[in-house]
Amino acid sequence: MAAANLQEVVVRLAKEYGEQKPPPLKDPFDFVIYENVSYLVTDEYRWKAFRNLKQTIGLRPEDILSASSDQFRSVVELAGVDKKGRVGKLIRAAQIAMKEFGGKVSSVLELPQKKAVTALKKFPSIGEASAEKIMLFCGKGDELPLESNGLRVLVRIGFGAEEKNYNVMYRNARSAIADQVVRENTWLVSAYLLLRRHGQTICKTSAPFCSKCVVADVCAYGQRKLR
C-alpha cells in the first residue's frame, strides 16, 4: 500500500465533495455563540438556532445579558438536547466577553496565535481545537485543527495511532501531519471541512463505508477491512 499523503487526500476529498464553506461569520464572538446556541444537532439546525438568537435577542454580549426570559424562550426551543444548559452557557459567554474582552472579542485577532487560543478557551464549549478553528475561520493561524470526525479519518488512514486518550491521539495525529500541512488559510479551512465531511458521511465511527471511499487505497484501516 502506498503511504498516504495529506495533500493528496485533501485533493481527492475536494473532488468528491466539492467546495465546503464555513458558516458566513467573521467575528470570533459570533462563532462562540454559534458553538453554544445548540447541542448535538446538524449544521443546518445549528444555523437556524443561531439565526433565531440573532433575530430575537441579538449577538452582542450586552444584548444577551439584557435579554428577558420571554426572549430566551424561543432560543431554548432550538437548543437541542441540553435546553437549560444552553442558556446558561450563552449568558456565561456574554459575561466573559464583557469581563475579559470589554465586549470586543474581535480583539483576539490581534493577539499572537497561542495567546488568542488561550483567550478563546475561556469561553464555554471552546477547547483548543475549537479555538483554533475560530481563528482559522476568521482568517488567522497556520495549524490544521481537527474535530472528532476529521481526527478519526486521519488516524484510520495512518496519521498517528489510535489511542484511548483523545488528547494523546490528537497530538500524535497533528505531529504526523505536521510536515504535510499547507500553511495557508484557504487550504486549511478546506482541509478541516473536507475531513469533517468525510468522517460524517463515509468514515463513520462504527461502520465506515470503506468500499465507497475515495482514499481507501491509501488507508491502513480500509486496506485491512477490504482485504
Q: Which residues bind ligand SF4 (CB under 6 A)?
A: 153, 156-157, 202-203, 208-210, 213, 215-216, 219, 221-222
Sorted by sequence, the CB contacts under 8 Å of residue 194 that are 6+ apart come out as 10, 13, 14, 17, 20
Nearest to 56 by CA among 66, 44, 43: 66
Inter-CA distances, 220 with 176, 212, 224, Å: 14, 15, 6
Least distance to ligand SF4, CB of residue 156, Å = 4
For ligand SF4, which is the closer residue by CB, 46 or 156? 156
Least distance to ligand SF4, CB of residue 9, Å = 8
For ligand SF4, which is the closer residue by CB, 117 or 210? 210
For ligand SF4, which is the closer residue by CB, 45 or 209? 209
Least distance to ligand SF4, CB of residue 132, Å = 23
Residues 11 and 73: their CA atoms lie apart, in Å, by 44
For ligand SF4, which is the closer residue by CB, 61 or 208? 208
Confirm if 4 and 218 have CB atoms less than 8 A apart: yes
Least distance to ligand SF4, CB of residue 176, Å = 15
User: What is the residue whose three cell numbers read 468500499?
Assistant: 211
